[in-house]
Structure 1
Amino acid sequence: MHVCHLITGLGIGGTPVMLAKLVEALHPRVRFTVIGMTGDEGCAPRLRAMGVPVHTLGMNRGRPHPKALWRLCSLLRSDRPDVLQTWLYHADLMGLLAAKAVAGCPVVWNVRHATLTPGLDSRSTLLAARASAKLSSRGPSAIVVNSQTGLDVHVAAGYAATRMRLIPNGFDLSRFRPDDDARSALRQSLGLAASTPLIGLMSRYSTLKGQPTFVDAMNRLHAASPDAHFVLCGTDITPANAPLQSLVQSTACADRFHLLGERRDIAEIQASLDIAVSASTSEAFSNSIGEALACGVPVVTTNVGDSASLVGDAGRVVDIGDARAMAAACLNILQRTPEDRKELSRRARRRMEEHYEIGVIARRYHELWMSVIKASGRRAA
């Protein structure tokens, strides 16, 4: 079977990382080609290291160009994939147009969004989603959605319910796992005592990721837990980010915040935490929550998307933007007995083992691709 992936960009983010994990789980049993619409290279080296061809169309974000469509059509005509798997709205639309024009192969969309709200989501996103809804009943062979919340939102927006397939994110549990050495290593690198409580937010800088709420909550927590330190990690999470740095400097505990930027050792950082926080205002299915749980780290999350059901009894859920409740939830976990916190850790790891291991999720994708190939009357290469 030859599957071609078309994604808006390959930067270090939840969707490109999920694509890379899926390829790793199924390669070389499945032949893959990956095409990025923009020139982002974040996950490209990881894919090329497996021998997977990676192409980019060189588009600027938000600026479709006929040359990019021509380039995509040429790649599909040359590669002749059995399935075109697209990721995110703009890739869904562009991939459908190209596949129908030159490839004749079935197209599977992948929806990774949990809101369609003016003012929260961009005009470009809303227009692409609206156009996709109109085409959903006769264009793609299937539509993968990674959260129940996202499925409900898109069906309400006009997406064809009969085409929707719920497949959550999967996680490499051999990479994301409890690791005592990682706990001590990060603290040592930050110049902290081995017993220092560490609370982290792992996400790119974005209005959707809730960094202001996290900073506010940790400032409140500092009064009750002055020994705690706070780690933020992700794209544009650096002291050079003036708005974020201003937020940190406005607190009474600026020296407790550590802005680590984009890191490749995210598994070790997750495993080093006492509590992982997700402060998002919009999220379908959070990779960072799943990674923390796989590392046995309890989670405090805002009630967005499928976050509450993902965390289950391995953490706490608070309302969006409620810094006071977030601080209280973190303090509650920090003040529990060592045995209670170990039990939270065991619950976190067990949830991931039972429901979200990447091999199980990859098989569901494989079965879906086989079914759409069969329904199209084609025979997989």
Structure 2
Amino acid sequence: MKVLHVINSLDIGGAQTLLTDSLPRFVEKKVESEVFVLKKSSEGNFEEILKSKGINIIYSQVEQIYSPLQILELKRLIQQNSYDIVHSHTFPSQYWVSLLKNLIKKPPVFITTEHNTSNRRREKKVFKYLDKFIYRNYRHIVCISEGTLSELITWVSDVKPKSSVIENGIDLKKLTVASPLNPKDIIPNYQDGDKIIVMVARLTEQKDHKTVIQAASKLPRNMHIVFVGGGEKYSEYEAMIKQNNLESQVHLLGPRKDVPNIIKAADLFVLSSHFEGFGLVVVEAMASGIPVIGSDVTGLTDVVSGAGKLFQQGDSQELANIIIELVNHPEMCTAMIEAGYKKSSLYSIERFVDEHMKLYQSLL
């Protein structure tokens, strides 16, 4: 079996983490796996990891990911290779793969993964009709959570018969063996007894770092917020931190290659997204033995419930109150850590790969 995965980039993100952790395991199961990337990565080390595992990465020669010329690049690649399955991830990769169907005489099986419960297209009715057409060209649609499936069906009801849920998976071993960084290597002004609250997410509107920055202004000065990740909002959030005189308390680390080690050094982990398909990084924090706090939004709620604390999305005061409560009650953290370990064990990368193998085989 030969599978081509198509994705926008290999920058830090949930879909990219899944590919990096799963593709070497597909290869072990005799699935020849390649990745077509629309844009060369500018952060993280996913490319390096995949290449070290023998995964072939093909970069588009078209500079703009939103250019329809990407379709011609993909067409040439598919015609030159005997792929059994082409599996797309994220927009606009989903569009370009779908539009290929009528341009190839004998196309491979096209499937796509829906990685989020919402996106900007769903704010405009015209995209409802476009998405309906795009999804029609796929044999199967994988959703990463029940919430993702529910929201997709609400948007385009026609997809229900050919959609299924395969929940995300993580490399549990990689996280459990990671050693924590020295806190002073993360925060220059760290003092013994200080607390570290980490959030790993791209600096985008979706992830709502603003609420966490606002919560920081309500916390004691010995509680540090650490943001890991790059993105288009970096300068805006940097200015917001300075404007609120939080430079000694809120720290922007940018993209990092040692994310598991940073998470292991944290006292708490938070994810404050406006919307989330699953929240893979929350499961990674649970597997690392860190208590988690998440915004009460579809997708993320399913993962955090029963193993962490939820706050109303956008409510910085409630978030600050939860952080203070957990810092002051270590017995609550101990219970959350135990529950988190149990819950994270349900999301192994091995299960994720096995369920995809069954799907691939059923479609051929």
Provide TM-score, normalisation by structure 1. Answer: 0.87
Task: Give the 3 Å change call, closer, same or farther, for CA 129–62 of structure 1 in structure 2.
Answer: farther
Task: Give the 3 Å change call, closer, same or farther, for CA 189–329 of structure 1 in structure 2.
Answer: closer
Residue in 1 that maps onto 2:36: 35
Question: In 1, Cα distance between the equivalents of 2:47 and 2:231?
Answer: 19
Correspondences of 1:1-381 after superposition (within 5 Å): 1-29=1-29, 30-40=31-41, 42=43, 43-61=46-64, 63-66=66-69, 68-102=70-104, 103-116=106-119, 130-137=129-136, 139-158=137-156, 159-177=158-176, 181-182=179-180, 185-191=182-188, 192-222=190-220, 226-236=221-231, 241-337=234-330, 339-353=331-345, 355-373=346-364
Task: Give the 3 Å change call, closer, same or farther, for CA 198–84 of structure 1 in structure 2.
Answer: same
Question: In 1, Cα distance between the equivalents of 2:288 and 2:16?
Answer: 21
One-letter amino acid of the counterpart of residue 74, structure 1: R
**Residues 147 and 298 in structure 2, CA contact (< 8 A), matched pair in contact too:** yes
Superposed CA deviations along residues 26-58 of structure 1, whole A, max 9, x for unmatched, are: 223211011012233653222221111111223
Question: In 2, Cα distance between the equivalents of 1:130 and 1:295?
Answer: 42
Q: Which runs of 5+ in 1 are unaligned?
A: 374-381
Provide TM-score, normalisation by structure 2. Answer: 0.91
Question: In 1, Cα distance between the equivalents of 2:172 and 2:65?
Answer: 36
Superposed CA deviations along residues 72-115 of structure 1, whole A, max 9, x for unmatched, are: 11111122111111112322222133255335211111111212
**Residues 39 and 58 in structure 1, CA contact (< 8 A), matched pair in contact too:** no
Task: Give the 3 Å change call, closer, same or farther, for CA 216–61 of structure 1 in structure 2.
Answer: farther
Question: In 2, Cα distance between the equivalents of 1:37 and 1:189?
Answer: 33
Q: Which moved more, 1:10-19 or 1:327-336?
A: 10-19
Question: In 1, Cα distance between the equivalents of 2:82 and 2:168?
Answer: 27
Question: In 1, Cα distance between the equivalents of 2:126 and 2:286?
Answer: 35
How far is the alpha carbon of 1:248 from its aligned partner?
Answer: 0.9
Counting aligned pairs with the same residue, the percent is 18
Q: Which moved more, 1:249-258 or 1:202-211?
A: 249-258
Question: In 2, Cα distance between the equivalents of 1:100 and 1:193?
Answer: 62
**Residues 59 and 65 in structure 1, CA contact (< 8 A), matched pair in contact too:** no
**Residues 37 and 59 in structure 2, CA contact (< 8 A), matched pair in contact too:** yes
SS at match of 1:371: helix
**Residues 146 and 284 in structure 1, CA contact (< 8 A), matched pair in contact too:** yes
**Residues 93 and 128 in structure 1, CA contact (< 8 A), matched pair in contact too:** no
Q: CA RMSD in A?
A: 2.3
Superposed CA deviations along residues 138-188 of structure 1, whole A, max 9, x for unmatched, are: x21110011222211111112410111111211111112276x405x2334
One-letter amino acid of the counterpart of residue 226, structure 2: V
**Residues 38 and 65 in structure 2, CA contact (< 8 A), matched pair in contact too:** no
SS at match of 2:193: coil
**How many aligned positions are there?**
358
Question: In 2, Cα distance between the equivalents of 1:36 and 1:262?
Answer: 19
**Residues 10 and 36 in structure 1, CA contact (< 8 A), matched pair in contact too:** yes
Task: Give the 3 Å change call, closer, same or farther, for CA 127–299 of structure 1 in structure 2.
Answer: farther
How far is the alpha carbon of 1:189 from its aligned partner?
Answer: 4.6
Q: Which runs of 5+ in 2 are unaligned?
A: none
Task: Give the 3 Å change call, closer, same or farther, for CA 268–333 of structure 1 in structure 2.
Answer: same
